[in-house]
Amino acid sequence: MHAPSAPRGTALVTGASVGIGQATVRRLAADGWRVVACARRAQALQALAGDLGGAVLPWPLDVTDDAAVAALPQALPADWRAVDLLVNNAGLALGREPAQQADLADWRAMVATNITGLLAVTHALLPGMVARGRGHVVHIGSIAAQFAYPGGNVYGASKAFVRQLGYGLKADLIATPVRVTVIEPGMVAGSEFSLVRFKGDAARAAAIYEGAEPMQPEDVAEAVAWVAAQPAHVNVSLLQLMPVGQGPGAVSVHRR
Ligand code: NDP
Ligand code: 8X3
């Protein structure tokens, strides 16, 4: 547990109800940030805010709800509107079937959340950062953006979009003090990621981590806190982290 430090500003974290997002809210709050915690599950956000006191504003938000996201900057209470740090964390994988067997609805849901939802939240909050001359956008991508694996098809592609968007935003923001970072974690347990991916099949989800020593949500939260704490003239563009027991995959070869 980190002792609270001097006030740093206002952060907004999407997908804050569990997992990496929740750990990030806790870590940022400990660093002195006031944090708007967004996700669909209001009760979990309330519980989180209850734990952390006035430093956290629970804000139920579905990132695929275009109207709610567009209204966000004006809907937030006046003293929470100047978001200095946006952590685009809400995301999911659905299914791990080969592309030729995948469910199109799963593909659409991943695109709607990981790409379109992330875009909408960024579009809503970025102009304010530029106008105020202060801001940092952190995307939670994935190593799947770079390393393809069987069944990772659209999930990996959505995270490749996230990485490239990060670079593109930085190019557009080059004459501003606004920073952009993409954090790409490898295997993280202790979240609902695999349970969601396998649609509630707990045994299949647990098998992903069997015998491995994955990272925990707190490890990624630490990376978010670190990039946000760099001096204002330093922009960490891309940060990839894996557990020690995970490495870049070999190119696949099919042998008859
Ligand atoms: P979890 O499933 O535990 O958390 C996902 C979070 O996203 C939840 O808080 C969920 O909240 C929220 N969310 C999902 N859909 C929406 C939506 N439409 N609107 C708002 N919030 C939404 O997974 P992780 O914590 O593991 O994943 C967080 C991020 O990290 C994701 O982007 C994931 O791709 C990425 N990642 C995860 C890795 C891992 O191995 N676990 C590795 C690399 C990256 P709610 O259901 O309440 O809306
Ligand atoms: C989550 C990590 O390897 O399951 O982004 O795609 S992986």
Note whether residue 251 is domain-resident. Answer: no
In angstroms, the CA 37 to CA 192 distance is 17
SS (H, E, C) the chain: CCCCCCCCEEEEEECCCCHHHHHHHHHHHHCCEEEEEEECCHHHHHHHHHHHHHHEEEEECCCCCHHHHHHHHHHCCHHHCCCCEEEECCCCCCCCCCHHHCCHHHHHHHHHHHHHHHHHHHHHHHHHHHHHCCCEEEEECCHHHCCCCCCCHHHHHHHHHHHHHHHHHHHHCCCCCCEEEEEEECCECCCCHHHHHCCCCHHHHHHHHCCCCCECHHHHHHHHHHHHHCCCCCCCCEEEECCCCCCCCCCCCCCC
Q: Which residues are catalytic?
A: 155
Looking at the CA of residue 187, tell me the nearest atom of ligand 2: 2
Show the CA angle centred on residue 208, arms to residues 206 and 214, nearest 5°.
95
CATH code: domain of residue 234? 3.40.50.720
Query: Which ligand lies nearest the alpha carbon of 191?
Result: 1
Looking at the CA of residue 141, tell me the nearest atom of ligand 2: 5
pLDDT band at 7 (very low <50, low <70, confident <90, very high): low
User: Does the structure show a pLDDT above 60 at 98?
Assistant: yes
Note whether residue 108 is domain-resident. Answer: yes
Ligand 1 pocket, residue 24 CB under 6 Å:
no
Structural domain of 151: 9-241
Q: How far is the CA of 206 from the centre of ligand 1 (A)?
A: 17
User: Does the structure show a pLDDT above 70 at 90?
Assistant: yes
Note whether residue 1 is domain-resident. Answer: no
Q: Ligand 1 pocket check: which of 193, 218, 241 to mutate, most ligand atoms within 8 Å of Cβ?
A: 193
For the chain, what is the mean pLDDT? Answer: 96
Averaged pLDDT for residues 1-6: 52
Total number of domains constituting the chain: 1
Q: Ligand 2 pocket check: which of 153, 154, 193 to mutate, most ligand atoms within 8 Å of Cβ?
A: 193
SS (H, E, C) 221-256: HHHHHHHHHCCCCCCCCEEEECCCCCCCCCCCCCCC
Averaged pLDDT for residues 127-150: 98
Note whether residue 246 is domain-resident. Answer: no
Q: How far is the CA of 90 from the centre of ligand 1 (A)?
A: 5
Dihedral (Cα; 9, 53, 24, 163), 10-degree rounding: -50
User: Does the structure show a pLDDT above 70 at 5?
Assistant: no
- Give the phi and the psi of residue 12 in degrees, each rounded to 5: -130, 125
Note whether residue 170 is domain-resident. Answer: yes
Predicted local confidence at residue 250, as pLDDT: 80
Q: How far is the CA of 212 from the centre of ligand 2 (A)?
A: 14
Note whether residue 190 is domain-resident. Answer: yes
Per-residue pLDDT reduced to its tens digit, 181-223: 999 999 999 999 999 999 999 999 999 999 999 999 999 999 9
pLDDT band at 71 (very low <50, low <70, confident <90, very high): very high
Note whether residue 212 is domain-resident. Answer: yes
Q: Which residue has the higher pLDDT, 130 or 2?
A: 130
Look up the pTM and report it.
Answer: 0.97
Predicted local confidence at residue 163, as pLDDT: 98
Note whether residue 248 is domain-resident. Answer: no
Q: Which residues line ligand 2 (CB under 6 A)?
A: 142-144, 152, 186-187
